[in-house]
Amino acid sequence: MKRSDREKELSRRMISRRALLLGGLQLGFAGTLLWRLRDMQLNQAEQFRLLAEENRINLRLLPPIRGLILDRNGVILAGNEQNYRVVIKRDDAGDIDLVLSRLAQLIPLSEDDIERARRDMLRNRPFVPVTVAERLSWEEISRVAANAPALPGVTPEMGMSRHYPLRADTAHVVGYVGPVSERDLEALETPDPVLFIPRFQIGKSGVERMAEDRLRGRAGSQRVEVNSVGRVMRELDRVEGTPGTNVHLTIDARLQNFALERLQGQSAAAVVMDVQNGDILALASGPSFDPNLFVRGISSANFSELLNNDYRPLVNKTVQGMYPPGSTFKMVTALAALEAGVTDGRETVFCPGHMDISGHRFHCWRRGGHGRVGLVSALAESCDVYFYEMSQRCGIDKINEMSTRLGLGFRYDLPITSVAGGLNPTRDWKQRNRDAPWRVGDTVNASIGQGFVLTTPLQLAVMTARLATNSAVLPRLVRDPLERGDQELANLDLRPEWLRMVRQGMRETVNDRRGTAYSSRIVADGQVMAGKTGTSQVFSISRAEREAGIRRQEQLPWNRRNHALFVNYAPDDTPRIAVSVVVEHGGGGSSAAAPIGRDITLAALNDGLPPLSAYPAPQRNRIQFELDEMRERLHRPEDLRLSRA
């Protein structure tokens, strides 16, 4: 059917409108697309460039150089040394067993080393380098480099590793570092990313652990270009990390070395403090151990040997060891009685060798008794009965108050691990912990440092420093190297006349012929010391043992003998240092601990080996022999100078 002209005209108009609409839509879409392309190329170019680079650039952390630990004179106690090591990448190695076998022919690799490398490779992604061996010599690392074509995936590297140049001297104070463990990570709310670097090491004990945040520093970064599977193609840039802060200790490395050597062969501890500012000059616990063993990965055999040693070398006895103070506590009881007003110190008490209290007989160490003694002679001769009497007059509450004032029973805030607080018992303490009331016999035992009373060698040194100065001396282990002068210390408000009597008793303990430490006196002018011996009972000799003929401590097994203690300050007229010594199961304080205390005191006052002229003339031949033997084991001054930072 033929359409009319009108129908044809209407059809053309409709088609034109549709064409215009479609063309407009196409033009709008094209315009929007062009605008978007322009926006992406010009305005968002930087954003898309970064997104693209994140697909081909990896940011890696670089471990920072750990801060040094130094003694008061700048001697390095914990430093860093170059460490030649060999790493391997699993995806480049191919046949891992073959490569490790070839590597074992070039450098010393044990089966444990190889097995550990295998475990680390399986634990990490194939392209992550795993350390196979470290602390290699230049010759060993050179052999690996020369045989590189036969060792695919193996790369020799140089890094830094922790090193303790003085070895055992400061192991208990400085501590050691070790690899980050899962337990370490779990203990942190937000672990530092650097801790996830394979085999990264952190402080495990001592100052290394307690000052970890200061010593660690901040990690650096390395930008590397990687391929699609994550393999490094090239380094783009590197920003070195911020080294850790150096930590300066109050310890004197030379005195520390002498003190530890003087304790050789004993399970013992010695503390030396500056009485004016609380600086700890020596903190020696013997026997010690080489912390470098832990840094390098201690063997099971070596660790078992340390762990099973009866002398407990892994324990820092200076702050962890808690011992009955024995007669070194008698100054506390004396001052408690004076402050309570139950004695003027000049009256005498008769000692027949024992005292009967509440149906029990308490013995004096001298079975025949001391006769009539006053406060000074009771301290010098260490008469137990005198202090039994004083304890009955003043009571445990006064004794506890004085003990607290003199610094016992506190856990001092030092940057080392496992600092113990000791035990300054009270009536409430016994009721809570023993579910029993305080008894008269408990007070009697406490008056001579037995029973429930427990102290650490550090606390005994603090007590002695406070007696010497009448100030609330606080121990200090870390110091600012720019700091000058002494701490401002609170006064203990002990009456001068009380302290004069107590100090006179300590002076006669060492310098009077009847004193218990007379054989350990110092005769050099200006270096005379005042001190107090102590013997704390560990086990009493049983009736069966007495019937078997065992009468003396020397006949008992070592671990059942009494502990030997000695505290002193020197010089007695112008005190500079306080010393405490505890010899575990050493027997008597006068025979085992006092000679050690004297030698360490002289070393501190003379800044080196004690002069022979400071000893009584009859002892000098023996002392000369002992000092000559010790001289061979001590660090030479020039060696310490070389290790200064």
Give Cβ neighbours of residue 39 (< 8 Å, ≥ 6 apart).
Answer: none
How far is residue 383's CA from residue 377's CA, in Å, rounded to a whole number? 8
- The three-point CA angle 133-134-140 to 5° equals 85
Give Cβ neighbours of residue 427 (< 8 Å, ≥ 6 apart).
Answer: 396, 397, 437, 438
Quote the tokens at residue 189: 């709310």
Give Cβ neighbours of residue 329 (< 8 Å, ≥ 6 apart).
Answer: 403, 446, 447, 448, 449, 453, 455, 534
Residue 218, classed as helix, strand or coil, is: strand
Nearest C-alpha neighbor of 575 from the set 277, 249, 257, 250 = 277
403 labelled catalytic: no
468-487 burial code (b ≥16 CB/10 A, e <16): bbbbbbbbbbbbeeeeeeee
> Catalytic residue among 327, 382, 391, 580, which?
327
* Number of Cβ within a 10 Å radius of residue 543: 8
What 8-state DSSP symbol labels residue 40? I
Nearest C-alpha neighbor of 581 from the set 602, 570, 595 = 595
DSSP output for 152-187: TTEEEEEEEEEE-TTGGGGHHHH--EEE--HHHHHT
Asked if 151 and 103 count as a contact pair (C-beta separation under 8 A), the reply is yes
Computed from CA positions of residues 175, 181, 184, 189, in that sequence, does the dihedral angle turn out positive or negative? Answer: positive
Helices (runs of H) and strands (runs of E) counted in the chain? 24, 19
How far is residue 332's CA from residue 348's CA, in Å, rounded to a whole number? 18
Computed from CA positions of residues 614, 619, 620, 625, in that sequence, does the dihedral angle turn out positive or negative? Answer: negative
- The three-point CA angle 355-435-340 to 5° equals 45
Quote the tokens at residue 485: 């002068």
Asked if 374 and 421 count as a contact pair (C-beta separation under 8 A), the reply is no
The residues annotated with a catalytic role in the active site are: 327
